[in-house]
Chain A
Amino acid sequence: MRYDSITDAIGNTPLVRIDPAVHGLRNIDLYAKLELLNPFGSVKDRAAWNMARPHLSAAAEGSGQVVELSSGNTAKALAVLAGMHGLTFKSVTNRMRIPEIKDLLLLLGAEIEELPGQSECLDPTATDDPLTLFHRTLSEPDSTYLHTDQYFNPRNTEAHFTGTGPEIVKDLDGRAPNWFIACVGTAGSSTGVARALREHDPAVRVAGLVAAKSDFIPGIRTIDEAHEVGLFDPGTYDSIETVSADEAIEGMLTLNRRCGILAGPTGGAAYFGAVRQLRAVDEELAGEGSSDRQSAVFIVCDRVESYLSYVRQRRPDLFGRPRRRNSPADLSDAEIRTAPAIGVTDAQAWIATGEPLVVDLRSPYAYAALHIDGSVNIVEELFEELLHGGLPFSRNRPVLLACPVGEKSARYAALLTRMGHPDVRSLTGGIIAWRDAGAPLVRD
């Protein structure tokens, strides 16, 4: 496959059959449309390209900027497309809650503007919310913005009506599937594909999936939020069901681990919603004893890699690593309580005569601001890491450990003692007690 431009690689994504051993449906073939294999990583590449393409060269004449309200994938595609055409891109949103995506966008040269949180002392009569102000600047007469307007732009839907939908029909040997299941974000992909499939076969049943209201699944909307989307028409869907974040992650893990499809949470939500919906249908088909097989297609919007922190927050168990040696977590309360310690006055005397190595466990910023003269700074995380490998200093050198209030240093004093250090002590009350006693702190 040889292309002149990366944009030629948008679309024509594979339709992959999910192993029946995984989903357990006996009379339905379930297929995943792998939009994650688009060049910029998601289903949004199609819409972004279709919306921006007619205007890019004109915009490039002036010093235009592409702007969109996007929390992720559309922004990613638009940032690349803008850059390829010598334009800048700005995303305005209050939904960008995935740090990896934010960083990736910055890396791609995007400018991100976040909408502020709601006022705590609300003025319910205020009409100028930041979004209204944003739209006002866009419509100023001499504005040079190219606003792709994904939630209202029919070219978003069209990209899927002419691309994604027909591709599915082609790969199913000219037949539309019996079922089509998709998550609703801008509603562009679900609406466009549904329309194309129904043109082939009006009997296609379309299921829309939204996030449960108290949940957050990046990229898809709750039912209330869907009503804010110009492309959203409830009539498109035979049913609209909700999926929880937990269910989305569950579905994602199945696709990742058992199908080799590195889908993100919305792909997982679509898989989970599809199987849930189809299970009842499958049983009916079995009951009827019909020999006709049905088929179903769901969309895998994007890839898992960007969502690691999202998943870690909700399912820390998935990231559990084996316990390490010499960890402060292994200490008993009694060991910590009886850890060798020394008060400020005695510590001052000890420093003057015994020359202990003074280790300050605080962050480098705090250490740089003020510290005990002559101390070394080994930030706690690093210190813990060092100890996994064994004692980091000689047994012959006494050690004084210091932290803000003497709590963490007590743990490490206990741990070092257990590891065989004969003369380690924790500064009682920490640097705060040191300061409060009027003992000198320096910045050097």
Chain B
Amino acid sequence: MGGQPLYLEPRLEPRLRSLLDAPALLHTLTDALGSPLNMVVPDQLADNLQQFRSVYGTHHLSGQVYFAHKANRSSALLRRLAATDAGVDVASLAELQHALGAGLTPDRIAATGPKNPEFLWLAARTSVTVSLDTRGELEQLATLVRKHALPRVRILLRLSGFEASGVRVLSRRSRFGTAVGESGPLLEDVERHADVVDLVGVAYHLDTTSLTEKATALEGCLRVLEECRSRGLRPRAVDIGGGFGVNYLAHGGQWEQYTTGLTEAVLGSRPPLTYGGHGYGLRNEAGTLRGTLGLYPAHRPVAGARYLDELLSHPAASLGGRPLAALLLEHLYDLHTEPGRALLDQCGLTLTKVLEVRGQESGGPLLVRLAAKADDVALEEHGVLMDPVVVPRHPPGTGADVGAGPDAGAEPVAVHLFGSLCLESDLITRRTVFLPRRPEPGDLLAFANTAGYCMDFHATRAQHQPSARKVAAWQEGDTWRWCLDDQYWPTTPVGGAQ
């Protein structure tokens, strides 16, 4: 196999671990509902919310945690969320309808993103808070409210293009929001439309893993809010968007070994670690490594609620060096956040059935074909590298193997995972995956965490293959219960149709 196996074991918190410890259920479900199958665990979402809430608590901050709906289409997750005190941030008409239908009341919904007239109308009609990207959008909203005699709308102004003092940060340009430099005319418009809109505050959403960029943006927002107050407006909140990240892997050491292995493979000093020598953005130019590693930093010690905590503890360099949380609190501002990915951490997994396991004449990695398309799992699309967990059809020590010890004779294998489309490109992962034992047809490969975030972005119905079904699962005592995603309501877990 060429050297030590390079594992990238997924991080599994107790709930997902317990679900994976119920192989009979997982096989029953995929036998009945097909492969791939997405399972979501709504209760985890409520726990993740609590972690964010406790960060608010330590900093004495009030404000709402809005789940970024675009991260997942599941009704079960949304309805479970409706049973908490969280909010939802919706980015389309359908998402808004879904949120209202799931039981989220308008005071707990925020509309963001690019908006068409229908979306704006329903948002204004139902009195959800609207985050506006541009002066044009404000104009459109004001006209709509007047024309249809709608109630006064609570708005946030989404800003972008924040400048750090002293040091220019080359930012990846955001298509969203108004540049802070243009906030003057925008605020004049707000004042002009004071009869139809009520300015709640300002917002930003930066697509970056960098804490300092977000801290810079938050400082910028505080300055604009001060400008609002000096104009006599009475803003109350800052919405700092999402992007707090997820830690996908159990061991930092494995991630370090793997990425070092990858650079060595690209430089030719070890055998390839990918199908066809793909370098994930890295290339070898005359013995020097060039390019950028196009991968999600799969092991992230600071992610999710901890990331928010670090951001809030970050000193505001341009405002006297006190922590950002202290400044928000002292200015009496509410903090709104819109975590998507981070709230979905550990909220689901994708099950795929092994159809075929084939050795190669050259003795290279085994070729494993799964009953799923690459798009169903979408790890490559998101640049997330993480091993699947093998859920054997016949657990070792049962049936044919009776008498043999647990996993007796199991040897690590290197495999390439293919999807079920007749396309060369349908690789579930482009990298060589190492598994602790050889999978057999009928076994399941479980991709932890993907049903939380990845699944809905890319799933298609190519080749008349159905896209994955979705079920919601929860624990009652020691047993796992389940229902179709769409059948789940917060009343379901406590005893079905009562």
Contacts and interface: CB of A to CB of B under 8 A. Distances in A.
Contacts of A379: 320
Contacts of B260: 213, 223-224
Interface string B275-300: 00000110000011110101111000
Contacts of B222: 365
A365 B321 CA distance: 11
A121 interface: yes
Interface stretch (A58-66, A112-120, A323-331): A112-120
B213 interface: yes
Nearest to A102: B167
B320 A363 contact: yes
Interface in A90-121: 92, 102-103, 106, 111-121
Pairs A-B, 9 closest by C-beta atoms: A117-B210, A366-B330, A362-B330, A124-B383, A120-B243, A227-B289, A124-B294, A117-B208, A404-B329
B380 A124 contact: yes
A204 interface: no
Interface of B: 60, 62, 164, 166-172, 207-213, 222, 226, 229-230, 242-243, 245, 252, 256, 259-260, 263, 267, 280-281, 287-290, 292, 294-297, 319-320, 322, 326-327, 329-332, 341, 380-383
Contacts of A367: 330
A170 interface: no
Contact of A228 (B288, B322, B329, B380): B288
Nearest to B329: A404
A213 B290 CA distance: 19
Interface stretch (A125-133, A173-181, A349-357): A125-133
A1 interface: no
A102 B167 CA distance: 8
Contact of B60 (A126, A213, A407): A407
Nearest to A131: B292
Interface in A215-232: 223-224, 227-230, 232
Contact of A112 (B168, B172, B209): B168
A120 B210 CA distance: 9
A435 interface: yes
B294 A125 contact: yes
A403 B222 CA distance: 19
Contacts of A121: 207, 243, 341, 382
Given A214-B252, A227-B263, A362-B330, A114 B208 contact: no
A364 interface: yes
B212 to A, nearest CB: 8
Contacts of B263: 224, 227
A432 interface: yes
B167 A364 contact: no
A75 interface: no
A224 B169 contact: no
Given A113-B169, A122-B295, A365 B331 contact: yes
A365 B319 contact: yes
A176 B478 CA distance: 72
Interface in A128-144: 129-132, 134
A403 B331 CA distance: 11
Contact of A122 (B287, B294, B326): B294
27 contacts: A111-B168, A112-B166, A113-B168, A113-B169, A116-B170, A116-B172, A118-B208, A119-B172, A120-B207, A120-B341, A121-B341, A122-B294, A124-B383, A125-B294, A126-B294, A152-B288, A224-B259, A224-B289, A227-B263, A228-B288, A232-B288, A365-B226, A369-B229, A370-B229, A404-B60, A404-B330, A443-B229
A127 B281 CA distance: 8
Contact of B256 (A106, A117, A214): A214
B252 A114 contact: no
Given A112-B167, A213-B260, A365-B320, A118 B209 contact: yes
A311 interface: no
Contacts of A364: 320
A30 to B, nearest CB: 31
A405 interface: yes
Contact of A213 (B168, B170, B230, B256): B256
A370 B331 CA distance: 8
A431 interface: yes
Given A233-B287, A405-B60, 8 more contacts: A106-B167, A114-B167, A114-B168, A117-B210, A120-B243, A224-B259, A370-B229, A404-B60
Contact of B288 (A106, A120, A229): A229
B121 to A, nearest CB: 28
A230 B244 CA distance: 35
Contact of B170 (A103, A106, A115): A115
B256 A405 contact: no
A130 B170 contact: yes
A227 B288 contact: yes
B331 A230 contact: no
A365 to B, nearest CB: 6
Contacts of A125: 294
A397 to B, nearest CB: 25
B170 A113 contact: yes
Contacts of B383: 122, 124
Contacts of B289: 224, 227-228
Nearest to A130: B170
Given A227-B263, A362-B330, A120 B208 contact: yes
Contacts of A152: 288
A116 B327 contact: no
B226 A119 contact: no
Contacts of B60: 404-405, 407
A116 B332 contact: no
Contacts of B226: 365, 369
A130 B226 CA distance: 33
Interface centre among B288, B294, B329, B330 (most CB of A within 10 A): B330
A124 B229 contact: no
A162 B268 CA distance: 33
Contacts of B172: 116, 119, 130
Contacts of A103: 166
A122 B296 contact: yes
Interface in A343-384: 362-367, 369-370, 379
A99 to B, nearest CB: 8
A186 to B, nearest CB: 12
A369 B227 CA distance: 10
Nearest to A381: B322
Nearest to A129: B292
A301 to B, nearest CB: 23
Contacts of A120: 207-209, 242-243, 245, 341
B297 A118 contact: yes
B149 to A, nearest CB: 30
Contacts of B243: 120-121
Given A116-B213, A118-B208, A224-B259, A404 B281 contact: no
Contact of A124 (B164, B209, B281, B327): B281
A278 to B, nearest CB: 27
B172 to A, nearest CB: 5
A363 B294 contact: no
A367 B212 CA distance: 25
A377 B294 CA distance: 50
A114 B169 contact: yes
A217 to B, nearest CB: 16
A440 B491 CA distance: 45
B21 to A, nearest CB: 31
B166 A119 contact: no
Nearest to A99: B317
Nearest to B60: A405
Contacts of A127: 281
Nearest to A432: B332
A227 B285 CA distance: 11
A407 B59 CA distance: 11
Contacts of A92: 170
Nearest to A403: B330
Given A124-B294, A230-B288, A117 B213 contact: yes
Contacts of B320: 363-365, 379
